[in-house]
Amino acid sequence: MNSPLRLADAHPGPAFTVTLDGRAIEALPGQTVAAALWTAGVTSWRTTRGEGRPRGVFCGIGVCYDCLVTVNSRPNQRACLVPLHPGDTIRTQEGTGHDD
Amino acid sequence: MTDDRPHLAVIGAGPAGLAATVAAAAHGVHVTLIDSAARAGGQFYRQPAAELNAGRPQALHHQWRTWERLKDALAHHVEAGHVRLLTDHHVWLVERRLNQWLNQRAGDADRNAFTVHALLGPEQETPAEVRADAVLLATGGYEKVLPFPGWTVPGVLTAGGAQAMLKGTLAVSGRTAVVAGTGPLLLPVATGLAAAGVEVAALVESADPKAFVRRTRALAAQPGKVAEGAQYAAQLLRHRVRLLTRHTVVAAHGDERLEAVTVATLDTDGRVRPGTERRIACDTLAVGHGMLPHTDLAETLGCRLDGIDVQVDDEQRTDVPGVWAAGETTGIGGAALSLAEGHIAGRSAAARLNGTEPDPRTWAPAAKSRTKLREFFAALDTVYAPPARWTDLVTDDTVVCRCEEVTGGAVREAVDGLGAGDIRTVKLLTRAGMGWCQGRMCGPAVAGLAGCELTPSRRPFARPVPLGVLARAGEPESEAEPE
């Protein structure tokens, strides 16, 4: 079974820990929030303002704003663009992200 | 810039911007190449993050040698001080100052006539500005996705998005994917995912391959492209990817996460054949229906558009003096066309900034390639059209505007009940297109449902700008310095 890391012969530095809603997840240096969450098996991390529906990555290049998430208490960060650092805290974003 | 060379700002470091930068720098112009990503390359040559330390990034690409040549040439010019590369700069506006400085160099551009406004880093709150004598827009394109029931379920993403995540972060969202929609992009996406260990359950293409055969002239002119297609076909076969042509995804199923898609056959009118629906289990749907050019910066500069493409002359000049455009912003046509256009634009800008009349003979091979590739992509466009009756799939409950959660029913009510006949009126009546993405995602869908052409949106800024940045705009500026 191949993996993207194996296919590209990637040798990232040691994984570090970040949290998603308080739960520890592993991230690799250079990974964006979206990449780390995908790797941890998470594909949705916000709910919409109107209907409270789940959303995750859609365009993957910063155009659509569907993947908004709260990172280090800052809401509305695009998970597909923001790189992670050790100790970062990610929170599922509800609605506009400004209510909590 | 320390010396007296003219200064060109190139916006976008994809194939067109890179080719333009290298060409202009080689002909005596200082270039500031500005890009939003952490590394040059654009979407086509998107690189894995440096920290991932990929030994074989080329495994996810083709035409890697072209990239290496461009990368080496760029590095050479950066080292020589002819090019300044500003990465992580998200340009939101290019401002043209009329007659502020008298033109000292002849040509079209006023000295320092342009200010490029950018926001730094992924957080995009700190402003930076770059002054230039001329600008070259190489802002590329983004994917068009038409709505269908379930297209907002997590796990459904654009085909280009799946590819960007794979190329840039070496991440995939699941184990089993369906790649669907229409257009040549679906091939590298399907083969890329398969090579990365994802089971690609099907490639669902709504176009009819027989339509290609009828366009033998355009195909015969591009043997390279035909060979490329054949390579992809061989890879699909090797990875046992089922190819379903004249099929479309009619629904995506799942609540918190995608569980399956339903696909169906299309008849010759582009309508779903009743009774042909079948379900395919998958956790990822990578879907796309072609590409749209990024034209925001050109629109605010006042450049004339031809439909939704920036209009350029044979030298890749827009109708605004001092503004060139190259690559997909002038019309979707792939990386090879972007390279040719970028090369021509860079040569033209260098000559004109140096006060000389450019000699088109110096870029004759690129011009020839441009002509042939434009013909080829015009032919492709007629083949790779979304199903003619795609709006039939948009139920009244289907979300059309993802940001504002405006449904197909609401758009239809605006059109049929309230008489809206264009995107702007639908927006005013329903809020479709008023959210974060400013209609970039729902524009084509709203146009289709309203029965009108997709028109440029005339957004004042190319991306959201913090109010604090706007409040400080106009105060004395400092030019962005490289790290």
Q: Verify whether the Cβ–Cβ distance B403 to A57 is below 8 Å.
A: no
Query: Are residues B42 and B14 in contact, defined by beta-carbon separation less than 8 angstroms?
Result: yes
Dump pLDDT digits (tens) for B48-92.
Answer: 999 999 999 999 998 899 999 999 999 999 999 999 999 999 999
Measured CA distances, B394 to B82, B274, B290, B449 (Å):
52, 16, 18, 9
pLDDT at A63 > cutoff 50: yes
Among A96, A94, A65, A92, smallest CA distance to A81 is for: A65
Q: Verify whether the Cβ–Cβ distance A58 to B402 is below 8 Å.
A: yes
Question: CA B58, CA A8: separation in Å to the nearest integer?
Answer: 7
Measured CA distances, B271 to A97, B27, B279 (Å):
41, 54, 18
What is residue B376's three-state secondary structure?
A: helix
- Vertex B86: Cα angle to A87 and B41 (nearest 5): 85
Q: Verify whether the Cβ–Cβ distance B122 to A3 is below 8 Å.
A: no
Low-confidence ranges of chain B (pLDDT < 50): 1, 100-108, 480-483
The closest CB to that of A11, out of B55, B60, B436, belongs to B55
How many Cβ pairs within 8 Å bridge chains A and B?
A: 170
Query: Are residues B420 and B259 in contact, defined by beta-carbon separation less than 8 angstroms?
Result: no
Question: CA B39, CA A83: separation in Å to the nearest integer?
Answer: 13
Shortest CA gap A50–chain B (Å): 7
Question: CA A44, CA B312: separation in Å to the nearest integer?
Answer: 42
CB-based contacts of B198, cutoff 8 Å, min separation 6: B172, B174, B175, B176, B177, B284
AA identity, residue B381: D
Angle between helices B364-383 and B334-353 (to 10 degrees): 140
The closest CB to that of A4, out of B123, B170, B405, belongs to B170
Q: What is the pLDDT of residue B477?
A: 52
Among B115, B103, B91, B79, smallest CA distance to B17 is for: B91
The closest CB to that of A60, out of B160, B257, B441, belongs to B160
Q: Is B143 on the interface with A (CB under 8 A)?
A: yes
Shortest CA gap B78–chain A (Å): 24
Structure tokens at B177: 């994917």
The closest CB to that of B56, out of A8, A39, A68, belongs to A8
Query: Which residues on B lie below 8 Å from A84 (Cβ)?
Result: none
Shortest CA gap A20–chain B (Å): 17
Task: Indicate the Cα dihedral angle B277, B279, B282, B288, nearest 10°.
Answer: 10
The closest CB to that of A5, out of B43, B170, B255, belongs to B170
ipTM summary value: 0.97
Q: What is the pLDDT of residue B63?
A: 87
Q: What is the pLDDT of residue A96?
A: 87
Q: Is B211 on the interface with A (CB under 8 A)?
A: no
Q: What is the pLDDT of residue B226?
A: 79
Q: What per-residue string of b and e applies to B286-310 under the rule 16 or more CB within 10 Å gives b? A: bbbbbbbbbbbbbbbbebebeebbb
Question: CA B205, CA B189: separation in Å to the nearest integer?
Answer: 13
**Considering only alpha carbons, which residue of chain B is nearest residue A28?**
B52
Query: Which residues on A lie below 8 Å from B440 (Cβ)?
Result: 63-64
Query: Which residues on B lie below 8 Å from A8 (Cβ)?
Result: 48, 52, 54-57, 59-60, 170
Strands (E), B296-352: 305-306, 309-310, 323-325
Shortest CA gap A24–chain B (Å): 19
Structure tokens at A45: 């991390």
Q: Verify whether the Cβ–Cβ distance A2 to B195 is below 8 Å.
A: yes
Query: Are residues B137 and B298 in contact, defined by beta-carbon separation less than 8 angstroms?
Result: yes
Q: Verify whether the Cβ–Cβ distance A59 to B49 is below 8 Å.
A: no
What helix, strand, coil percent values describe chain A, rounded to 5?
10, 30, 60
Measured CA distances, B216 to B95, B183, B219, B226 (Å):
45, 18, 5, 11
Query: Which residues on A lie below 8 Å from B433 (Cβ)?
Result: none
Structure tokens at B77: 């010019």
Shortest CA gap B120–chain A (Å): 12
What is residue B450's three-state secondary structure?
A: helix
Query: Are residues B362 and B36 in contact, defined by beta-carbon separation less than 8 angstroms?
Result: no
Shortest CA gap A62–chain B (Å): 9
Q: Is B462 on the interface with A (CB under 8 A)?
A: no
Give mean pLDDT, residues A28-56.
97
**Considering only alpha carbons, which residue of chain A is nearest residue B38?**
A81
Which range is least confidently modeled, A22-36, A75-89, B80-94, B210-224? B210-224
The closest CB to that of A38, out of B56, B172, B404, belongs to B172
Q: Verify whether the Cβ–Cβ distance B405 to A10 is below 8 Å.
A: no
The closest CB to that of B52, out of A12, A38, A81, belongs to A12
Measured CA distances, A51 to A48, B397, B405, B411 (Å):
6, 12, 8, 17
Question: CA B378, CA B389: separation in Å to the nearest integer?
Answer: 21
Among A51, A68, A86, A23, smallest CA distance to B401 is for: A51
Shortest CA gap A89–chain B (Å): 15
Q: What is the pLDDT of residue B102?
A: 46
pLDDT at A97 > cutoff 90: no
Q: What is the pLDDT of residue B211?
A: 75
CB-based contacts of B481, cutoff 8 Å, min separation 6: none
